[in-house]
Chain A
Amino acid sequence: MPRNETITELGLDEYKYGFVTEDQPVFKAVPGLSEDIVRQISHHKEEPDWMLEFRLKALEVYYSKPMPKWGGDLSKLEDTLDEIYFYLKPQDQMERSWDDVPQEIKDTFEKLGIPEAERKALAGVGAQYESEMVYHSLKEQWEEQGVIFESIEDGLAKHPELFRQYFSTVVPTHDNKFAALNSAVWSGGSFVYIPKGVKVEIPLQAYFRVNAERMGQFERTLIICEEGAEAHYIEGCTAPVYSTDSFHSGVIEIVVKKGARFRYTTIQNWSNNMYNLVTQRALVHEEAKMEWLDGNLGSKLTMKYPSCYLVGERAHGEILSIAYAGDGQHQDTGGKVIHAAPNTTSQITSKSISKGLGRSSYRGLCKVYDGAEGAKSNVECDALLLDETSRTDTYPYIEIDENTASIGHEATVSKVGDEQLFYLMSRGLDEAEAMAMIVRGFIEPVAKELPLEYAIELNRLIELEMEGSVG
C-alpha cells in the first residue's frame, strides 16, 4: 500500500475555507431549542399565523420522534443540540446588490469567490449567512421570463398562494425527525419557480456559509419546475473550523412537472465539526427528468439520501453521488428512487473514497410499487479505499412489488493497489502523482457531469501538493 505521507501530500484533507469573520449580528437567540425560540423565529420573519402553527406542530413531531439508531453515530448529537444557536440573524434585511451587504459579510463571500462566479457564469445567486439569506439576485433576462428566484421568506411573503400550494407537500413534517426539526425552525433557503417551457440555460446558485461557533443552520428550499421547463440549481456550503460541533439540517423540496428537466447539484464542503443531516426529495411527473448530483466532501457526519419519487409515466430519476471520507469523517450517503408509475426509469451511481480513519457508507433504496409496469432501475456503487485503515459499507435496500420491473445492482470495492501504483510509477509519475491520477480516474464519471469550475474545484481537492496554511 502507498505510504501515508504520500496520501497526505494529495491534499485531500486540506481545508481552505476554515476562516472566521468578525461580525455584528442583529439578533442572536439563546442556545438550545424551545417553543419560545420557534415563536421568535416566526416573529422576526413576520410570518402569517398558519406558518407559526405549522412550526409549532412540527416541533411537537420533532420531540415525539426518537433519535435514529441507524446511519452514523448520533449519540452525542442531543447534547450538541442543547448548545446550538438555532437562530442568528446577521443583518436587518436581505439585499439585492452586493454593495449593500455589510462589508465583513461581503468580504467573506468575496473570499469564497461568489460574486465573481455570479458575474461570470450564473443566472442568479443567493447567499445565506448564518440563519438568513443576506443577498439574492436574479439576472433581468430570467426575471422577464417570469422566473422567480427569491429567498424562501420572500417566496412566502410575495407569492403566498403558490408557496402554500407546494410547501411541505414533497417532504412532510413527519417524514423523519430532522425534517420535523427543520419544519419547526427553518430559516433561509431559496424559493424557485420556473414557468412553463422556460429553459434557464445557466445555473442558479445558492451559497451557504456558517460563521458563528455552535451554529445551527436550517435552510429550506422549495423549487417548482413547470411543464417543459428546464433549470440547474447549485448549492455550495462551507464553515469555519471550530473545536465544538455545529449542525446543519436542510430540507429541499422539488416538484418537476410533465416533461420538465431539473438538475440539483450540491458541493458540500463543510468543516469537519459539522453534523450534516439533510432531506432532499423531488416529485417527478410524467416524462420529466430529475438529476441529483451530490458531492459530499466535508462535514463530521453526513446523512443524506437525495430521492426521486417517480409518480408520472416514463419519469426518469438520476442520482450521481460522490463522497470523500477522511480522518474523523463519516459519509453516510446514497439515494432513493421510488417507482410509482409505469415505465419509469432510474439510475443511481455512487462513488466513495475513504482514507485513514474515514468511513463512507452507501445507503440506498429502490422501491417499485405494484402497477409500475416496466419500471427499470440500475444501481452502481463503487468504493475506493486509499489505505488499510479506511472503511466502507454498502446498505442497498430493494423492495419490488411489481413482476415486470427490472432491477440491476452492482457494487465494487477497490483499494489503490501496489500494482496500479507501480504501473504508473514505472512510466515516470512519482507516487503522489500516481495516487492522484488513480483517484481522479475513479471520480471521473461524476466529475465530467459537473460544470467546469466545479470539476476543477473537485479536482483541486486531489491536487498533488499541499497548498499554504489553512484558513
Chain B
Amino acid sequence: MSEPLLSIRGLRAKVDGEDGEILRGVDLDVQRGEVHALMGPNGSGKSTLAKVIAGHPAYEVTAGEILFEGEDVLELEPDERSRAGIFLAFQYPAEIPGVSIANFLRTAVNARLGEGEEMDVFGFQRTLTEKMEMLKMDPGFAARYVNDGFSGGEKKRNEILQMAVLRPALGVLDETDSGLDIDALKIVASGVNRLSEADEALGVLLITHYKRILNYIRPDRVHVMMAGRIAESGGASLADKLEAEGYDWLHRAVAAV
C-alpha cells in the first residue's frame, strides 16, 4: 500500500501553558481519495485534533508525529501547512471586516504561487463564480466582507467555497454540519461530494457530532474518539450503531481497558 496522505502516530497535545492533555495518543491514517468520519462525544478532543493538524498556535504537541504526504508537518507554520495542501474548514470561522471574500481568496491563491507571480484576474473570477454556483451562492457574496455578519449557514458555505477554490490535498471539516438546516446541509454535502468527484485523490477528514451528514457524504471509514484517543474504528456501519446506541457502550468499553 502506498504511503498514506495523512498519518498520525501517538499524538499527544495540550493547550499551551496548561496542564492536562487533550489528545492522549491519537493514531490515524487517511489514504488518498478516502473520506473518514471522526465522531465522538463533546470534549473528546475531535476539534483539538483538527486544530493541531492545521497548526493552531494555542496547542502544544508533547509527543507523536503528524506526517502529511510522508513529511513531518509539526515544525511547519499554519501557512506552510496550508500551502502544502492541508485545509481546515473551521467550526467557528473568524470575521475579517473590511476584507472581501474575493480579495481574501485571491490573496490566498497568489500565496500558493511563486514570488512575484499572480493568478490572472479574469481566470480567478471565473473559478470563483463557478465554485459559487456549485454551492448555490449569490454572486454578490464575493464582495461581502469575510464572515462579517454572516449567518451560521453562510459561514459554513464560505468555508467549503474556500476549499473548492484552494483545492487542497486534504480537507479537515470541523463540524461543518453543525448549525445547518437540512437544505443548507444538503448543499454543503453535495459541494464536498463534487470536490471528491473532481479530485479522486482528495482526502477528507469529516469531524461531526451527529450521523446526519453521513446520510449525504458516505464515509469509507468511521472513527470514534473518546477521551483523547481513537476508541473504535470501522466501516460506515459503525455510524449506524452509534446513532442507534449512543456512545455509552464505548464509554464502558474504554473504561474496561
Contacts and interface: CB of A to CB of B under 8 A. Distances in A.
Contact of B97 (A427, A429, A442): A442
A427 B162 contact: yes
Given A422-B78, A425-B77, A444 B56 contact: no
A463 B122 CA distance: 24
Interface stretch (B30-38, B104-112, B134-142): B104-112
Contacts of B145: 441
B108 A443 contact: no
Contact of B104 (A417, A426, A437): A437
A466 interface: no
Given A427-B162, A427-B166, A440-B98, A433 B107 contact: yes
Contacts of B87: 426
* Most chain B Cβ neighbours within 10 Å, of A427, A442, A445: A427
B94 A423 contact: yes
A445 B148 CA distance: 14
B90 interface: yes
Contact of A444 (B98, B107, B166): B98
Given A417-B94, A433-B107, A428 B112 contact: yes
B98 A441 contact: yes
A429 B98 CA distance: 17
Contact of A418 (B58, B83, B99, B108): B58
Interface string A426-466: 11111101100110111111000000000000000000000
A420 B104 CA distance: 13
A438 B96 contact: yes
B78 A426 contact: yes
Nearest to B146: A441
Contact of B96 (A428, A430, A437): A437
A427 B77 contact: no
A321 to B, nearest CB: 16
Contacts of A423: 90, 93-94, 96
Contacts of B88: 426
A440 B98 CA distance: 7
A438 B56 CA distance: 18
A444 B78 contact: no
B82 A428 contact: yes
In this complex, the interface size class of chain B, counting residues with CB under 8 Å from chain A, is 20 to 34
Contacts of B111: 427-430, 433
Contacts of B93: 423
A418 B57 CA distance: 8
Interface string B14-58: 000000000000000000000000000000000000000011111
Interface residues of A, number: 24
A399 interface: no
Contacts of B108: 427-429
B71 interface: no
- Tell me what chain A mostly uses at the interface: helix, strand, loop, or mixed: helix
B99 A441 contact: yes
A81 interface: no
A427 B88 CA distance: 8
A170 interface: no
A198 interface: no
A442 B98 contact: yes
A239 to B, nearest CB: 30
B79 interface: yes
Interface in B231-245: none
Contacts of A427: 79, 82, 104-105, 108, 111, 162, 166
Nearest to B86: A426
A419 interface: yes
A441 B96 contact: yes
Nearest to A446: B98
Contacts of A418: 57-58
Interface in B62-104: 77-79, 81-83, 87-88, 90, 93-99, 104
A430 B79 contact: yes
B99 A426 contact: no
Contacts of B99: 437-438, 440-441, 444
B77 A431 contact: yes
Contact of B94 (A420, A429, A445): A420
Contacts of A429: 79, 107-108, 111
B106 to A, nearest CB: 11
Interface in B197-211: none
* Most chain A Cβ neighbours within 10 Å, of B79, B81, B93: B79
Nearest to A430: B79
B11 to A, nearest CB: 18
Contacts of B107: 429, 433, 437
A400 interface: no
Contacts of B105: 427
B81 to A, nearest CB: 8
A431 B79 contact: yes
24 contacts: A419-B94, A420-B96, A422-B54, A422-B94, A423-B90, A423-B94, A424-B94, A424-B104, A425-B79, A426-B54, A426-B88, A427-B105, A427-B162, A428-B79, A428-B83, A428-B112, A429-B107, A429-B108, A430-B79, A431-B77, A433-B107, A441-B99, A441-B145, A444-B97
Interface of B: 54-58, 77-79, 81-83, 87-88, 90, 93-99, 104-105, 107-108, 111-112, 145-146, 162, 166
Question: What are the 5 A-B residue pairs with the smallest beta carbon separation, nearest first?
Answer: A441-B98, A444-B98, A441-B99, A423-B94, A428-B111
